Structure 1
Amino acid sequence: MTDSQLYEDNFHITGLDNAKYDRVTRLTGSSTDNQTTMTLDINHELFPVESGESLQMLLASTLNLDGTKEEKGWRELDSSTETTLADMYDYVMHGKVYRFEEGDGDHIKVYISFGGLLLFIDGPYKKLTPLRIDYVYLLLKK
């Protein structure tokens, strides 16, 4: 994992809730080592997920493969010549880390908003400490 890749883990999806909104599903899951849990809102029309599936999640500070910060917006890239992390994943969102809470013992809780779609992660302090930055990219694939 490079410096730009802040957190990476595989999650087993244990629950789905899409009763509140038409296109949004709230996923709940736990990491393969059962140390980290997450709750994530996604657009299920763009990225359909079923209970029991596994997802690979990456939180990164940049989409550039070399880890450098973007000089231009991600939408301005020439997709025919420039390859980014987004090309390797099925679902990508950009958001703001807005809250940290100290949990029980060595656990920490991280809250991230992706334009209203939320991510909540509860896990070991050592694994989640790199998320103490303002903006992150969330990348998912099955």
Structure 2
Amino acid sequence: MSDPLLFEDTFTVTSVNQQKYDRVSRITCSSTDATMSFTLDINTDLYPCAVNETLSLALASTLSLDGKEDARNSWRNVADGDQTLANEYDYVCHGKVYRFEEGATKDTMAVFVSFGGLLLYLEGPYKKLVTLRIDHVYLLLKK
């Protein structure tokens, strides 16, 4: 089939703001090549992050390794032994892409995704983010 990953890059955490909520922090990260950045609300009870940590962020259209559309009612209903992209990552969320904007500089764009109220703002070159013009995505993080 096709590759389920729409976007993948490595980032360094530049700030962690945990002032507003008890178990949620807003992390800001920059890519290792400094062309991409993102801000993400993250459940720090499940996935604590610290400044200068390196994270691998991926966005996928499906968790199926072969790229097939998810046929399950929930990605959590995986039979024992079934392998998915979720097995390769530490933190997984499913969300809705709800807005696109032009980026701060020429040839860049910003993508906004909501994961049940936890928000992602991803900005970078148009060429890297154009594949995110779909309705729903999976966020996958690992250290």
Aligned twin of 1:125: 126
Residue type at the aligned position of 2:21:
Y
Aligned twin of 1:52: 52
CA drift of 1:38 comes to 0.5
Residue type at the aligned position of 1:81:
G
Aligned to 1:74, what secondary structure does the other structure show? coil
CA drift of 1:81 comes to 2.1
Aligned twin of 2:82: 82
How many matched pairs? 140
Specify every segment of 5 or more residues in structure 1 that has no aligned partner in the other structure, as ranges. none
Q: Distance in 2 between matches of 1:86 and 1:120?
A: 21
Q: Distance in 2 between matches of 1:4 and 1:64?
A: 7
Aligned to 2:128, what secondary structure does the other structure show? helix
CA drift of 1:75 comes to 2.0
TM-score normalised by length of structure 2: 0.95
Identity of aligned residues (%): 56
Residue type at the aligned position of 1:114:
F
Residue type at the aligned position of 2:109:
I
Q: Distance in 1 between matches of 2:21 and 2:132?
A: 28
Q: Distance in 1 between matches of 2:70 and 2:81?
A: 16
Aligned twin of 1:136: 137
CA drift of 1:77 comes to 1.6
Aligned twin of 2:37: 37
TM-score normalised by length of structure 1: 0.96
Q: Distance in 2 between matches of 1:75 and 1:138?
A: 14
Residue type at the aligned position of 2:10:
N
Q: Distance in 2 between matches of 1:7 and 1:75?
A: 22
Moved beyond 4 Å, runs of 4+: none
Q: Distance in 2 between matches of 1:75 and 1:8?
A: 22
Q: Distance in 1 between matches of 2:66 and 2:48?
A: 30
Q: Distance in 1 between matches of 2:52 and 2:101?
A: 29
Q: Distance in 1 between matches of 2:90 and 2:83?
A: 14
CA drift of 1:76 comes to 1.9
Aligned to 2:127, what secondary structure does the other structure show? helix
Q: Distance in 2 between matches of 1:109 and 1:74?
A: 27
CA drift of 1:102 comes to 1.3
Aligned twin of 1:9: 9
